[in-house]
Structure 1
């Protein structure tokens, strides 16, 4: 069991393929959990039931992260239910269309920025005052292993997350005096969520799989709990801030 402060971890995107695993990993480590989701109510409630079965307190919250007012209302509800938010995990994000940046139309570009960048901004703005008041806290951002080795056609994920990486460092630098830490998990190919969806669509074909495997030191896809374990570590590593952990099986080494 990890050592958490009183309160809960708030997982934005907790109904997503990776977010589900992260939420459950926190619960298995001893944390109470608040799951923020946009539209997958049934999935969020299923995950909440699995967490409750572990003996942890859990709540679910429908939230469109592109709407600042909704995010603020969700944070208020989480604080009312749990008393404190000790960790914010940013796992929200759209299924990313795999197109070269030069071919990304304006609608796709704006959607990626609005969800990933503006959404994370809304989450920080809504939670930071409560963290300061409570004497500290931790942000864990799920970024991209593409920051280390840029994957062709995945720019609509990598570019917005790069803005958030700068934001994470800014939080670490400016908020450390309030005992608030901020770190990132660089996410590789995880056998869940977007990877499974794009494989089902035929976007990731056998040739893509074979070429991607060549870039991995560990010849297997990652699992959601691999990301969850890194997120739990960063949430409880009290002298670690402004850092990245690349959880990608050695992608691009």
Structure 2
């Protein structure tokens, strides 16, 4: 690689995408690749999925892979060190990880279910941000975008396992925006509604009767559920300099369901 190529790469934005193996995470990676990002994509166990994604994006984007277990602080630190060693500066941290959950009522939710989802989503995000802040500060101008849920703004019965941990993610994002803005770090949250991907697809096909979902669809002012690509558009916007004066916000992308 020539010096000019190295200089050109150094000017490109970089993103660490945590949870890039899922349907939404993959869509976010594809959208960031379209914007010219160099990507470091993490996975917990689905290396095959991210290998396929790297192959898909390889012709247009520089893609690196790393294993990260959000329940293991040592794993988070190790993966952060790999990302820092790969990029001279980290422009963006994207948190798109999640747990495949059912939708029990609170009365029927077991303690181990709470423990799992809070450990991965709430504590995992907190430890991730703590590990990433030194690199983000060193960048001089950086952004964090977390994935929350519309259910923290319009609670529907059965959503506690999703909404409660994501409320912590949303609050942590706001806290980072308040405390780290002086270091040039912006932090925002995207709160998707029901989408035709990932957990949204699973719930539609496995958990409830189709008639229930048709009723739910009619509650959405736009009369449809969202697509992963539409959530990815919101993430890409908030990550970029196009949102350079936006921080501490939650962008709800739910077709108006919460209105």
Q: C-alpha separation between the residues in 2 aligned to 1:151 and 1:85?
A: 37
Instruction: Count the aligned residue pairs.
Output: 248
Which residue number in structure 1 is paired with residue 6 of structure 2? none
Matched, 1:29 2:35: yes
Q: C-alpha separation between the residues in 2 aligned to 1:242 and 1:183?
A: 5
Deviation string, structure 1 residues 141-179 (Cα, Å, up to 9, x no partner): 110011221121111011111011111111000000000
Q: C-alpha separation between the residues in 1 aligned to 2:15 and 2:173?
A: 17
Alignment of 1:1-253 (within 5 A): 6-54=12-60, 56-200=61-205, 202-236=206-240, 237-253=243-259
TM-score, normalised to structure 2's length?
0.92
RMSD of aligned alpha carbons? 1.4
Task: Give the superposition deviation at 1:252.
Answer: 2.9
Q: C-alpha separation between the residues in 1 aligned to 2:18 and 2:91?
A: 14
Q: Contact 2:68–2:79 (CA<8 Å) still a contact in 1?
A: yes
Note the residue ranges of structure 2 that are not aligned, 5 or more in a row. 1-9
Q: Which of 1 and 2 has greater Rg?
A: 2
Deviation string, structure 1 residues 178-210 (Cα, Å, up to 9, x no partner): 00010010111111111222334x203213212
Q: C-alpha separation between the residues in 1 aligned to 2:163 and 2:186?
A: 23
Q: Contact 2:204–2:213 (CA<8 Å) still a contact in 1?
A: no
Task: Give the superposition deviation at 1:249.
Answer: 1.0
Q: C-alpha separation between the residues in 2 aligned to 1:209 and 1:66?
A: 33
Note the residue ranges of structure 1 that are not aligned, 5 or more in a row. none
Which residue number in structure 1 is paired with residue 7 of structure 2? none
Q: C-alpha separation between the residues in 2 aligned to 1:5 and 1:214?
A: 46
